Amino acid sequence: MKRFRLFITSALCLAMLTAWRLPALPEPPPSVSARAWAATAVRGAVADVIVTLPGYPDLSPSRALRTKREKTRFVVRALQTHAERAQARLRADLAARGLDFFSLWITNQIVVRRVDRPTLRWLGTRSDVIHVDLDERTRGLVNNQTQHWRPKSYATLTFPYSPTTIEWGVQRVNAPQVWAMGYTGQGIVVANLDTGVRWDHDALKLHYRGWNGVTVTHDYHWFDAAPEDGNPPSLTPVDLNGHGTHTTGTAVGDDGMGNQIGVAPGAQWIACRNMAGPSGIGSVARYIACFQFALAPTDVNGNFPDPDRSADITSNSWACDPAYGEIGCDVPTALVTATQALRNAGIMVIASAGNSGPSCETVRLAPATLDQAFTIGATNGSDAIAGFSSRGPSWLTGRIKPDIVAPGVGVRSAWSSSTNSYGFSSGTSMAAPHVAGVVALLWSAVPDLRGEVETTEMLLRSTARPLTSSETCGGVPGSAWPNNTYGYGLVDALAAVNVALSAPVVTAPAFVPVNQPFTVVISATNITPITRTGVVISSSLPTTLTLISSEPPGIVSGNVISWTFPSLAPSATLTVSLTVSAALPGPITHQAYLRFNGLPSPILGKTATTILLNRRLIFPLIRRDSD
């Protein structure tokens, strides 16, 4: 009997051991990333996530629009209309659940804060959700080279660092010569996306768009996308790090009392904090939220976006770094989408190259790696590349980076510790705002260029002072132009403005019936005191156009017609014209290029667009009855 009981007991135990096994870990829904799922594994754990929704609008028609305002309005309207459609049901359900969320309509995403495991599962099983990923917060100031002193409290420093002179970097980019022509950045708005700004600093207050000389308003001029953990967003500009105050100063700062620290003192600035606290903690959601603010500024609570108050230029001295655990940076799809939206809207994205040099292929972090960003390396007072300045090519695209270089060693600018404190910093972070200021000067000198991002980038590249090195990076020797150490060279505000003012101007009728001949006129004026030699004006002929005649007769090669002139004297104008027709309806863009001796590549002038109509426009006769 005992043996029988023992047998039964052993059999039961074996059966229990066989049947028992560790419970399988729950699998995430297919649309939820493994890292987001792991972040909520512990009971009660919560995480911030980015939810991507389906579809994205076509923004390319903005390129045919003539003005910056038209481009920006079109892009914002297209993005918001699509997001409202795609996000409507999810927004309503999030609100019904009492969840904290923020729409990133610029990328058709929604940031949802403090999401637990059940909520994450609910998000991942929705039919209107494409992907859910973790939004990790990390340090955006990667390998920052900042060194800070308080020069006002010490003995006067010698040139070029004396506060009674124009700062050496401002002089090196030839900004004062452009000021002397009457162009200081007036009418241009620079958005500084950084650690925030001390808005009432003596060198910045007068240039803040929210200050009218008597009172201040921060709505539409400041947004806090990176509040301190546990705190609400700051409704007034704040900078706990100092980095953002310094970079803003380099772009536009001047206290009117000798501290001429900024390249474009006539420009205005707005700001968005995308990195929090003394350490500069960023995240993909924070970076994108600030791009969105630059595209359509809001009140301080993030409401009522207004594209008519958009920035012209964004200065970006930060890096999205996967090595710090920052999610979405290894494959920076959302950042590519956001920066491309800004380009389509006519807003220039200027980014620091990074401080991971001197090795090759160290331009590894977005936004510096992106084709949509104009990437800036750093030079010293001898125009030599800084040892820390990241070298190209772009880790993401393999293309030459940086695009150009600017002063970035020992740069003196505003500091956030008081309203009259200044400090020295080194880094490509300091180089980028020099170029932001140069673009502001250029666009104030030639308002037709405002919003023409590709043309502006080409201008800056073609007029930069070529620099070479003994380094070979990405298979490109340092003796080549461009190269992966200096890009196209040191930015030159005076050269860019002079060439831009000489750029050809194209005029053409806005509407023409098909098959009716019309005339396109191209003119180029030399506003410089230098006689240009070897002058060539050229124009690309769209395949839909038929060339009837040209005056004077030009030389046609393929789809390009060109005219060559021996010289163009100061204040003189050259004018050529084309008579053309088209058999098909639709828009045709007319482009013209100017080249002369000493200019590395042709400069593209302001384009004009003619819309070919199926039939003649009939304007009704409007009779006014007499009183």
Residues marked active site are found at 194, 243, 429
Indicate the SS3 state at residue 581: strand
Cα diameter, the chain:
126
CA dist., res. 310 & res. 34, Å (int): 37
Q: Which letter does DSSP use for residue 623 in this model?
A: P
CA dist., res. 413 & res. 432, Å (int): 13
Token pair for 118: 């059940």
Indicate the SS3 state at residue 439: helix
CA dist., res. 363 & res. 402, Å (int): 8
Contact 539, 560 (CB under 8 A): yes
Strand 573-582 and strand 518-525: the pairing is antiparallel
Token pair for 224: 């806090």
CA dist., res. 562 & res. 540, Å (int): 9
Residues forming beta bridges with residue 507, ordered by sequence position:
521
Contact 48, 226 (CB under 8 A): no
Task: Tell me the residue length of the chain.
Answer: 627
CA dist., res. 427 & res. 148, Å (int): 12
CA distances (Å), origin 419, targets 191, 200, 414: 20, 6, 9
CA distances (Å), origin 2, targets 7, 9, 169, 570, 611: 9, 10, 97, 119, 102
What are the residues whose beta carbons fall under 8 Å from the beta carbon of 21, sequence distance 6 or more?
none
Q: Which H or E run includes 507? A: strand 505-507
Gap between the terminal Cα atoms of the chain: 126
Contact 463, 492 (CB under 8 A): yes
Is the alpha carbon torsion for 434, 435, 441, 444 positive or negative?
negative
Which of 445, 406, 425, 454 shows the shortest CA–CA distance to 528? 445
Block residue for tokens 């389509």 = 344
* 475 C-beta neighbours (distance < 10 Å), count: 10
Contact 193, 294 (CB under 8 A): yes
Indicate the SS3 state at residue 561: strand
Q: Which letter does DSSP use for residue 421 in this model?
A: -
Concatenated DSSP letters of 346-379: T-EEEEE--S--SSSS-B-SBTTT-TTSEEEEEE
Distance of CA 137 to the CA centre of its chain: 21
Q: Which residues of 139-160 are buried (b: 16+ CB within 10 A; e: fewer)?
A: bbbbbbbbeeeebeeeeeeeeb
Indicate the SS3 state at residue 5: helix
Provide the strand spans (E) within 208-263: 222-224
